[in-house]
Amino acid sequence: MPRVADHDARHGQITDAVQRLIVRDGLTAVTVARTAAEAGVSVGLVQHYFTAKDEMLLATFTRVNGHFTARVDELVDRGEAEGRTIAEMLRQALAELIPLDDARRAEFLVRLAFGGQAAHNARLAAVQRETLAGIRSRVAQAIGNGTVCGEVAQGVDADDAARRIVAITEGLALHTHIDPDRTPKPATLAALDDQLGRVFTGTCRRPQLGQRRQGSGE
Instruction: With cut-offs at 50, 70 and 90, classify the pLDDT of residue 6.
Output: confident
The per-residue pLDDT for range 173-182, each reduced to its tens digit, is: 999 999 999 9
The per-residue pLDDT for range 10-66, each reduced to its tens digit, is: 999 999 999 999 999 999 999 999 999 999 999 999 999 998 889 999 999 999 999
Cβ atoms of residues 39 and 13 within 8 Å:
yes
CATH of domain 53-218: 1.10.357.10
Return the SS3 of 30.
coil
* DSSP state string for 136-196: HHHHHHHHHHHHHHTSB-TT--HHHHHHHHHHHHHHHHHHHHH-GGGS-HHHHHHHHHHHH
The per-residue pLDDT for range 137-162, each reduced to its tens digit, is: 999 999 999 999 999 999 999 999 99
Give the model's pLDDT for residue 51.
85
- In order of 9, 14, 118, the CA distances from 21 in angstroms are 18, 11, 18
Return the SS3 of 9.
helix
Please, where in the chain does CATH 1.10.357.10 lie? 53-218
Give the model's pLDDT for residue 7.
80
Give the model's pLDDT for residue 139.
96
Q: For residue 206, is pLDDT > 80?
A: no
Cβ atoms of residues 140 and 162 within 8 Å:
yes
Report, as an integer, the average pLDDT of 60-82: 92
Q: Note the maximum CA span of the chain.
A: 59
pTM of the model: 0.87
**Distance between CA atoms of 172 and 74, rounded to whole angstroms?**
23
Which secondary structure element, helix H or strand E, spans residue 215, and what is its range? none
HSE-CB at 171 with a 13 A cutoff on CA atoms is: 9
Q: For residue 4, is pLDDT > 90?
A: no
Fold of 1-51: Arc Repressor Mutant, subunit A (1.10.10)
Please, where in the chain does CATH 1.10.10 lie? 1-51
Cβ atoms of residues 61 and 123 within 8 Å:
no
- The overall average pLDDT reported for the chain is 91
